[in-house]
Amino acid sequence: MRKHILMDLPTFVHTKCRDTSKVYLRSKNIFRQFVPDELVKWEKPFPDYNPPDYTSENLRGKPWADSENLDEMRWNELDGKINRVSHITKYRIENKRPQNPFGRTGLQGRGTLGRWGPNHAADPIVSRFYNGKLQFIAIERGDTGEMAIPGGMVDPGEDVNETLKREFTEEALDGIDDKTLEELWKTGAELYRGYVDDHRNTDNAWMETVVVNFHDDKGILNEVKFKAGSDAKNVRWLTISPSECLKLYASHEHFIRLFAERHNIHL
């Protein structure tokens, strides 16, 4: 089992969430304030730091999203069925808001994320060797158009193993539970547990995930009919090659490197 914690991760895992070249996801005119690499850490003085404060109006009243009443939140612990414990570290609270443990992002508020603080996801890497090549199932995201691992959010009170199976079924099998995969779901090997360099991250809300590899060495996947779910445009096998650089969503390129290393391929 391989896990990464805060001090293990290099600067590049906090890059996509500082992108100032385009408008913030699903907003009309919100742009991040530029944060240079040397001023990312909160400990570094940045007197001119005054980023926009943005929480999408689309989150208001949603049953899966937090309210704006921060006084009722129980930080760094289980809050009813909502897990507010970070995989990374105990996070600080500043002005009643959780503070992103990786530093400044150029944007305050929750953005488009449902939870203040850590937003927990799960990413299943379903793989096989085909004609001697290592492959994994990927989807084309409907929001950014990028190729990605078919994962998603952990529901309140849900075990992460159930999330892994549910999200793969929803995004790569169009919601149809294929019983032939039951044996595959027993083979999971955890590759990563920690922070995600996600476009949606802000100073006060961020993505974290658990990445698990389900590898088929019995030909179970050869007859499975994959079909993209409602959140995806397309689903297909991607081949891992040391000579070809895959461009993937958020921190997924980092996760695929860990996956490739597990199968003795160094990218």
Q: What is the pLDDT of residues 67-110, one digit of tens each?
A: 989 998 999 999 999 999 999 999 999 999 999 999 999 999 99
Q: Hey, what's the torsion of the CAs at 205, 113, 226, 157, to 10 degrees?
A: 80
CA 135 to chain centroid, in Å, comes to 20
Give which of 163, 159, 134, 133 is closest to 150, Cα–Cα.
163
Residue 117 has pLDDT above 90, yes or no: yes
Residue 114 has pLDDT above 90, yes or no: yes
Residue 7 has pLDDT above 90, yes or no: no
**Token pair in block for residue 263:** 């199968």
Q: Give per-residue pLDDT as tens, 219-245.
A: 999 889 999 987 888 999 999 988 777
Q: What is the distance between the alpha carbons of residues 251 and 25, in angstroms, rounded to a whole number?
A: 16
> Confidence band (pLDDT; 50, 70, 90) for 12?
low
CA distances from 133 to 6, 70, 127, 239, 240 (A): 33, 50, 10, 7, 7
